Chain A
Amino acid sequence: KQEVTQIPAALSVPEGENLVLNCSFTDSAIYNLQWFRQDPGKGLTSLLLIQSSQREQTSGRLNASLDKSSGRSTLYIAASQPGDSATYLCAATTGTASKLTFGTGTRLQVTL
Chain B
Amino acid sequence: NAGVTQTPKFQVLKTGQSMTLQCAQDMNHEYMSWYRQDPGMGLRLIHYSVGAGITDQGEVPNGYNVSRSTTEDFPLRLLSAAPSQTSVYFCASSYSTGANTGELFFGEGSRLTVL
Q: Interface of A with B (CB < 8 Å)?
A: 4, 31-32, 34, 36, 41-46, 49, 51, 89, 91, 93, 95-100, 102-105
B109 and A42 contacting across the interface, CB-CB below 8 Å:
yes
A98 and B50 contacting across the interface, CB-CB below 8 Å:
yes
Q: Interface of B with A (CB < 8 Å)?
A: 4, 31, 33, 35, 40-45, 48, 50, 56, 58-59, 90, 92, 96, 99-109
Q: Which residue of B lies closest to A6 (CB)?
A: B42
**Would you give the shortest CB distance from A68 to chain B, in whole angstroms?**
15
**Would you give the shortest CB distance from B42 to chain A, in whole angstroms?**
4
A49 and B107 contacting across the interface, CB-CB below 8 Å:
no
**Would you give the shortest CB distance from A50 to chain B, in whole angstroms?**
11
Number of A-B residue pairs having CB atoms within 8 Å of each other in the complex:
69
Q: Which residue of A lies closest to B31 (CB)?
A: A98
A96 and B99 contacting across the interface, CB-CB below 8 Å:
yes
A32 and B42 contacting across the interface, CB-CB below 8 Å:
no
B106 and A104 contacting across the interface, CB-CB below 8 Å:
no
Q: How far is the CA of A41 from the CA of B107 in the complex (A)?
A: 11
Q: How far is the CA of A47 from the CA of B100 in the complex (A)?
A: 17
B35, B42, B59, B109: the one within 8 Å of A103 (CB): B42
